[in-house]
A and B are shown apart, each in its own frame.
Chain A
Amino acid sequence: MGRYAIQRLLGVIPLLFIVSILVFMFIHLIPGDPARLVAGKDATLEEINGIREQLGLNLPLWQQYVNYMGDLLKGDLGESVRSGIPVMEMLESRFLPTIILTFTSLGWALIIGLLIGIVTAVNRGKWPDYIGMLAAISGISLPGFWLGLVLIQVFSVQLGWFPTGGIDTWQSYILPSFTLGAGIMSMLARYSRSSMLETMREDYVRTGRAKGLREFTVVGRHALRNSLIQVVTVAGLQFGFLLGGSVMVETVFSIPGMGRLLVDSIAFRDYTVIQALLLMFAAEFILINLIVDLLYGVLNPKIRYASK
Chain B
Amino acid sequence: MSDNSTATVISVPEETLVNRPATGKFKAFMSKFMKQKLAVISSAFILLLFIVAIIGPHIVPYPPNEPNYDALMEGPSAAHWAGTDEYGRDILSRLIDGTRLTMAVSLSAVFISAIAGTILGLISGYYGGWIDRLIMRGSDVMFSFPDLLLAIGIVAILGPGLSNVVIAVAVFGTPSFARIIRSVTLSAKESLYVEAAQSMGAKNNRIIWKHIFPETVPSIIVNVSMKIGGAILAAASLSFLGLGAKPTEPDWGAMLSMGRDYLSIAPHIVYFPGFIIFLTVLAFNLIGDGLNDALDPKTKN
Are A and B bound to each other? yes
Instruction: Encode contact with A along B220-249: 1 for CB under 8 Å, 0 otherwise.
Output: 000000000100010011001111000000
Nearest CB in chain B: distance from A78 CB, A = 16
Instruction: Encode contact with A along B155-166: 1 for CB under 8 Å, 0 otherwise.
Output: 111110000000
Instruction: Report the separation of the CA atoms of residues A170 and B282 in the bound assembly, to the nearest whole angstrom.
Output: 32
Which of A30, A157, A243 is within 8 Å of B263, CB to CB? Answer: A157
Q: Verify B152–A247 contact, CB threshold 8 A.
A: yes
**In the complex with contacts A15-B140, A274-B156, A286-B144, A143-B271 CB distance below 8 A:** no
Q: Verify A281–B156 contact, CB threshold 8 A.
A: no
Which of A29, A153, A281, A289 is within 8 Å of B149, CB to CB? Answer: A281
Q: Is the C-beta of A111 less than 8 angstroms from some C-beta in chain B?
A: no
Q: Verify A137–B286 contact, CB threshold 8 A.
A: yes
- Residues of B185-244 at the interface with A, using a CB-CB cut-off of 8 Å, are 229, 233, 236-237, 240-243
Nearest CB in chain B: distance from A288 CB, A = 10
Nearest CB in chain A to that of B156: its residue: A266
Instruction: Encode contact with A along B138-175: 1 for CB under 8 Å, 0 otherwise.
Output: 00110111111100110111110000000000000000
Instruction: Report the separation of the CA atoms of residues A153 and B145 in the bound assembly, to the nearest whole angstrom.
Output: 32
Q: Verify A146–B270 contact, CB threshold 8 A.
A: yes
Q: Verify B153–A263 contact, CB threshold 8 A.
A: no
- Residues of A247-268 at the interface with B, using a CB-CB cut-off of 8 Å, are 247-248, 251-252, 262-263, 266-267
Instruction: Report the separation of the CA atoms of residues A146 and B239 in the bound assembly, to the nearest whole angstrom.
Output: 13
Instruction: Encode contact with B along A267-308: 1 for CB under 8 Å, 0 otherwise.
Output: 100000010001001100110010000000000000000000
Instruction: Report the separation of the CA atoms of residues A281 and B150 in the bound assembly, to the nearest whole angstrom.
Output: 10
Q: Verify B285–A140 contact, CB threshold 8 A.
A: yes
| A side interface size, CB within 8 A | 44
Q: Verify B146–A285 contact, CB threshold 8 A.
A: yes
Specify which chain A residues have a CB less than 8 angstroms from the CB of B264 in the assembled complex: 153, 157
**In the complex with contacts A137-B285, A142-B278, A143-B237, A282-B270 CB distance below 8 A:** no
Q: Verify B256–A149 contact, CB threshold 8 A.
A: yes
Specify which chain B residues have a CB less than 8 angstroms from the CB of A244 in the assembled complex: 146-149, 152
Instruction: Report the separation of the CA atoms of residues A247 and B147 in the bound assembly, to the nearest whole angstrom.
Output: 12
Q: Is the C-beta of B73 less than 8 angstroms from some C-beta in chain A?
A: no
- Residues of B278-300 at the interface with A, using a CB-CB cut-off of 8 Å, are 278, 281-282, 285-286, 289
Specify which chain B residues have a CB less than 8 angstroms from the CB of A282 in the assembled complex: 144-146, 149
| B side interface size, CB within 8 A | 43
Q: Verify A247–B153 contact, CB threshold 8 A.
A: no
Using a CB–CB cutoff of 8 Å, the interface residues on chain B facing chain A are 137, 140-141, 143-149, 152-153, 155-159, 229, 233, 236-237, 240-243, 253, 256, 260, 263-264, 267, 270-271, 273-275, 277-278, 281-282, 285-286, 289
Assuming A141-B233, A274-B153, what are 17 further A-B pairs, CB within 8 angstroms?
A26-B156, A141-B278, A142-B281, A143-B237, A146-B278, A149-B256, A150-B270, A243-B149, A244-B147, A244-B149, A244-B152, A248-B240, A252-B260, A266-B156, A274-B156, A278-B153, A285-B146
A and B contact pairs by CB, cutoff 8 A, 27 listed: A30-B157, A137-B285, A137-B286, A140-B285, A141-B229, A141-B281, A143-B256, A143-B274, A144-B237, A146-B270, A146-B273, A146-B278, A149-B260, A149-B274, A150-B267, A150-B271, A153-B270, A241-B146, A241-B147, A243-B146, A244-B146, A248-B241, A252-B260, A262-B149, A274-B156, A278-B145, A282-B149
Which 8 residue pairs spanning A and B have beta carbons closest together? A244-B148, A146-B274, A240-B146, A141-B282, A141-B281, A244-B146, A243-B146, A153-B267
Using a CB–CB cutoff of 8 Å, the interface residues on chain A facing chain B are 15, 18-19, 22, 26, 29-31, 137-138, 140-146, 149-150, 152-153, 157, 239-245, 247-248, 251-252, 262-263, 266-267, 274, 278, 281-282, 285-286, 289
